[in-house]
Amino acid sequence: MYDGDIASVLITEQQIKDKVAELAKQVDEDYQQGGDLLLVGVLKGAVMFMTDFARALPLPAQLEFMAVSSYGSSTSSSGVVRILKDLDRDIAGKHVLIVEDIIDSGLTLSWLLKNLRSRNPASLEVCTLLRKPDAVRVDVPVRYVGFDIPNEFVVGYGLDYAERYRDLPHIGTLDPKVYTSGA
């Protein structure tokens, strides 16, 4: 699949699986206060992580989705966050956990945290599978991080380049020829 487009596999399917289980265990331990947890997955990138994470989590959790976009089809963050799909429900008084695939510049998340905090949830935390070094420059409190990864463009397991590669079961670095070919 996608022959030659992936320069190297950064995180294997098994490593993702193990990490998802580990994160789910941490969250399970931290949320024993009762009441369903509300997972807010950020479309589209977080879809694979969200569904695997929810199934690995022993706690009852409800699934909600928001779609925001900051990248368009470019490989670098524009800083412009747009709501493409808002939550359908009120989150006031709920324990909310934002589920993200990656924090790169941190702009999407810092905007999202501010937006969701204004809706008065009982608690608001973040669980991200991946985090890049630049993310630490923005002050976003992230409680659960799967992997800190180098500053390379990665795709797979939900992460795209121009809407492609989301369906890969692993996470890999994209061969620069893919985005420099002028196609």
Residue nearer to ligand PRP on the CB measure, 28 or 44? 44
Confirm whether 18 is a catalytic residue.
no
Residues 12-71 touching Mn ion, rule: CB under 5 A, are 45
Residue nearer to Mn ion on the CB measure, 45 or 121? 45
How do strand 82-85 and strand 6-11 relate by DSSP bridges? unpaired
Q: How far is the CB of 157 from Mn ion (least distance, A)?
A: 12
State the number of CA atoms in the 13 A half-sphere of 168 facing the CB: 26
For 120: left if phi > 0, alpha if psi spans -120 to 50, otherwise beta; the answer is left
Site string for ligand PRP, 96-125 (x = CB under 6 A): ----xxxxxxxxxx----------------
CA distance 142 to 81: 19
Q: Note whether 106 binds Mn ion by CB under 5 A.
A: no
Largest alpha-carbon pair distance within the chain? 53
Q: Which residues pair with 166 in a beta bridge?
A: none
Q: Which residues contact 44 (CB under 8 A, 6 or more apart)?
A: 67, 158, 160, 166
> Taking contact as CB under 5 A, which single stretch among the options 101-109, 111-119, 159-167, 169-177 is the one that binds Mg ion?
159-167
Positions in the binding site for ligand PRP (CB under 6 A): 42-45, 69-71, 77, 100-109, 160
Positions in the binding site for Mg ion (CB under 5 A): 71, 160
Question: Annotated active-site positions, please?
Answer: 104
